[in-house]
Amino acid sequence: MKLTGRLFLIIMLIVLYLPIFYLAYYSFNSAGTMNEFESFTFDYYLSVFQDSRLMVILMNTISVALISSVVATIVGICGALSLYFLKSSKIRASLLNINNIMIVSPDVIIGASFLILFTFLGISLGSVSVILAHIAFSIPIVVLMILPKLYEMNTSLLDAARDLGATPSLILSRVVLPQIKPGILAGFFMALTYSLDDFAVSFFVTGSGFSVLSVEIYAMARQGISLEINAISTMIFLIVLTIVLIYYFLSTRKTVKRGDLS
Amino acid sequence: MKQIYLLLTLSLIIGIGALLSTRFIEPPLGEGDSAIHIFNWGEYIDPDLLDQFTEETGIRVVYETFDSNEAMLVKINQGGTSYDLAIPSEYMVEKMQERDMLIEIDHEQLPNLEHIGEQFLGLDFDPENKYSVPYFWGTVGVLFHPDKTDLDFTEWDMLWDESLRNEILLVDSAREVMGFSLNSMGESLNETDPDKLDAAFQKLVELAPNIRGVVGDEIMQMMINNESIAAVIWSGSARDVMWENEELDYVVPEGGSNLWFDTFVIPETANNIDGAHQFINFMLDPENAAQNADYVGYSTPNDAGLLLLDESEQEDTRFYPTDAQQETLEVYKNLGLENLGIYNELFLKFKMNLE
């Protein structure tokens, strides 16, 4: 049983990661196609860096991801807290359902409705519209990441803090937030990855020369995959890998320093 | 908790920093700067030409891409964008025109229009070229693997050959599929006679055993991977596939085929109409057209530009058919909703007949 389990794990990891490594491998191929590996070259990476349009788009993508996930995390914390402290369980359940609908509804519909909303409000398409849309679809994910942590929290902690004379804001910053920290971290990084790989919503709300990588790659791929796409994808993969490592580092440090409640 | 504050602030600072850094990579448009916004298919122009245009005219180019005519239509139709120039396919030109989404093109501002071959102007979708100027053109034909079949596909009927059991891919498009069936019977692909359409449908049903799949854009990757012997496909896609997989060959069967275009249009959202005209004129310059055709690889309608291409290219009758062949090519006419409905319905019935 142990052996088959391990075998299964190995096969799954191969299935998951082989395409990415295949793609990364050929991004160094001087032959220009993904058929045969000729010799090693950095040409495609150089041409990505020399293409100022692509660089701008790469920067746009990173900044949209970071800004939108920070804002979504903050709003999401507030949302999760207010859901948790709601008195009426009926309202809570229906609000939670509204939250979940955003997650399960198709991106195309969300994107199209944002396009209609923005043009209706007179917000011109560009950096602002993309960031707003990304914040909006990230918030439900953050809420969903944080809520379970709130329910795991021992409520007697709150009572104890109150007994000891802590003000509500002190309770929030010293007791509640540290308790749900893993949820906040998870929510932030989920929002980050959602934003990085979103295509459908971004397609509708980009405009005025402002574009993000997913939209650009999709348009480029129509003509068959050029190895520049491999190069960009490899870089994005490395960026995400770094983010995951940071997350890992942050979330495991907690177990080392048990007393860290401040 | 400090970690979280630190993480969030740091992310915000890096995010805003990255956003600001783009201003140094490409300075933003100032008040006085002249610029045009272009909306084009991905990888469908030589980027050097954009720089060259800016050098020559001082007009900056803001360039965005789309991946389907329909997606483009939605973005322009909804407003909120200010594209000065877009490059839809010919059927979409007609649709946009019907919705009053296009601005008339002033031919006096386009002296280079004279380089466009006569056979590419004044076609049904825009009889006076009031709204559109051809950018690239192409055909519908058969992309096939010569080593795996003895057929050469000079006739559409060869698709029905028994040796091709389960080996043909079709593009998922009613007009193309019904069109080649009509062509194979010697009819026009703009036929509206219900009996003839029904006959074309019956003929397609007979083709069913040979068909491996009716697919969308994946058709290109499937052909690159040699998953099928033959595919009915647009010449542009065929060209892209043949770059990746040199074993394949493309042919436009005799007996007629479709002639399609991608064209410049000026959407009504345009702010810089003069700039858009200047850009069209710039792209119509024979040298630029040749350079662009060389980069993109599609067939250019620019006769003077064609003469500047390699001879092997000019004489490649697969992508630049002879005059006699071109005679048999037809542009799709707008058949009206009712007839299009019949086409779509028959095509759907055909697809449901497949296993």
Torsion sign across C-alpha atoms B321, B323, B325, B326: positive
Residue to mutate among B49, B78, B269, with most A CBs inside 10 A, is B78
Beta bridge partners of residue B250, listed in sequence order: B143
Question: Is the per-residue pLDDT at A134 higher than 90?
Answer: yes
Q: Are residues A102 and A72 in the same domain?
A: yes
pLDDT in tens, A11-33: 999 999 898 888 888 888 777 66
Strands B35-41 and B102-103: unpaired
Measured between CB atoms, does B21 come within 8 Å of chain A? yes
pLDDT value at residue A35: 67
Task: Report d(CA B135, CA B261) in Å as an integer.
Answer: 7
**CA-based nearest residue to B133, from B147, B152, B114, B146:** B114
The stretch B26-47 carries a mean pLDDT of 79
Quick one: A7 and A129 in the same domain? Answer: no
Option in A60, A219, A220 nearest B22 (CB): A60
Q: Please, which residues have CB within 8 angstroms of residue A105's CB and are 6 or more apart in sequence?
A: none
pLDDT band for position A76 (50/70/90)? very high
Mean pLDDT in residue range B68-84: 81
What pLDDT band is residue A261 in, cutting at 50, 70 and 90? very low
Annotated binding site of B for spermidine: 43, 91
Domain match, A66 and A29 both: no
**Min Cα separation A111/chain B (Å):** 11
Indicate if A6 and A118 belong to the same structural domain: no
Q: Flag whether pLDDT at B18 surpasses 60.
A: yes
pLDDT, one tens digit per residue, over A84-120 is 888 888 888 898 888 888 888 888 888 888 988 888 8
Burial class (CB in 10 A: 0-12, 13-18, 19+), A159: exposed
| Beta strands, E only, chain A | none
Chain B positions touching A255 (Cβ under 8 A) are none
Residue pair B35/B59 in contact by the 8 Å Cβ criterion: yes
pLDDT score for A262: 44
pLDDT at A180 over 50: yes
Residues 6+ apart with CB under 8 A from A228: A44, A47, A48, A51, A54, A220
Q: What is the pLDDT of residue B194?
A: 86
User: Where are any strands of DSSP class E within chain B?
Assistant: 35-41, 60-66, 85-86, 102-103, 133-144, 168-171, 211-215, 230-234, 249-251, 257-264, 266-267, 329-330
Q: Over the stretch B288-341, which tens digit does the pLDDT of each residue have?
A: 999 998 888 888 999 899 889 888 888 888 888 888 888 888 888 877 778 888
Pairing of strands B102-103, B266-267: antiparallel
SS3 content of chain A, % helix, strand, coil (to 5): 80, 0, 20
Confidence check: pLDDT of B282 > 90: yes
Number of independent structural domains in chain A = 2
Residue A91 DSSP class: H
Query: What is the percent of chain A where pLDDT is above 70?
Result: 92
Q: Which of B247, B250, B218 is nearest to B142 (CA)?
A: B250
Q: What is the pLDDT of residues B115-155, one digit of tens each?
A: 998 888 888 888 888 999 999 998 899 999 988 888 888 88
Tell me the two tokens of residue B227.
């998953």
In the CATH scheme, what architecture does the domain B138-256+328-353 have?
3-Layer(aba) Sandwich (3.40)
3-state secondary structure of A261: coil
Q: Which residue did the predictor score with more confidence, A219 or A189?
A: A189
- For residues A136 and B173, which has the higher predicted lDDT (pLDDT)? A136
Q: Decide if pLDDT at B179 tops 50.
A: yes
**A180 SS3 class:** coil
Residue A249 belongs to what domain range? 52-254
In angstroms, the CA B111 to CA B276 distance is: 14
Among B26, B243, B244, the residue with its CB nearest the CB of A56 is: B26
The pLDDT of residue A1: 65
- CA Rg, chain A, in Å? 22
A177 contacts in chain B (CB < 8 Å):
1, 4
Higher-pLDDT residue of A66 and A27 is: A66
pLDDT for the residue B26: 72
Indicate the average pLDDT of chain B.
86
pLDDT at residue B60 tops 90: no
B71: which 2 tokens? 């997606």
Q: pTM for this structure?
A: 0.74
Within a domain: residue A225? yes
pLDDT tens profile B226-256: 888 999 998 888 888 888 888 899 998 888 8
Percentage of residues of chain A with pLDDT beyond 90 = 19
Q: What CATH number did the domain enclosing A218 receive?
A: 1.10.3720.10
Q: How close, in Å, is residue A13 to chain B by CA atoms?
A: 25
| Residue listed under structure tokens 């509206």 | B192
The count of other CB atoms within 10 Å of the CB of residue A169 is 8
- Does residue A212 register a pLDDT over 90? no
Phi/psi-derived region of residue A226, left when phi > 0, alpha when psi is between -120 and 50, beta in every other case: beta
CB atoms within 10 A of CB B189: 24
Instruction: Look up tokens 């009053």; give the residue.
Output: B100
CB atoms within 10 A of CB B329: 19
Helix/strand/coil for A26: helix
Residue A259 domain-assigned?
A: no
Smallest Cβ distance to B21: which of A59, A207, A250? A59
- Please give the Cα distance from B241 to B233 (Å, whole number): 10
CATH number of B31-131+262-314: 3.30.300.130, 3.40.50.300, 3.40.190.10, 2.20.28.120? 3.40.190.10
* Residue A169, φ and ψ in degrees, nearest 5: -70, -35
φ, ψ for residue B244 (rounded to 5)? Answer: -85, -35
Domain parsing of chain B, residue ranges: 31-131+262-314, 138-256+328-353
Cα–Cα nearest to A57, from B81, B59, B25, B27? B25
User: CB of B220 within 8 Å of any CB in chain A?
Assistant: yes
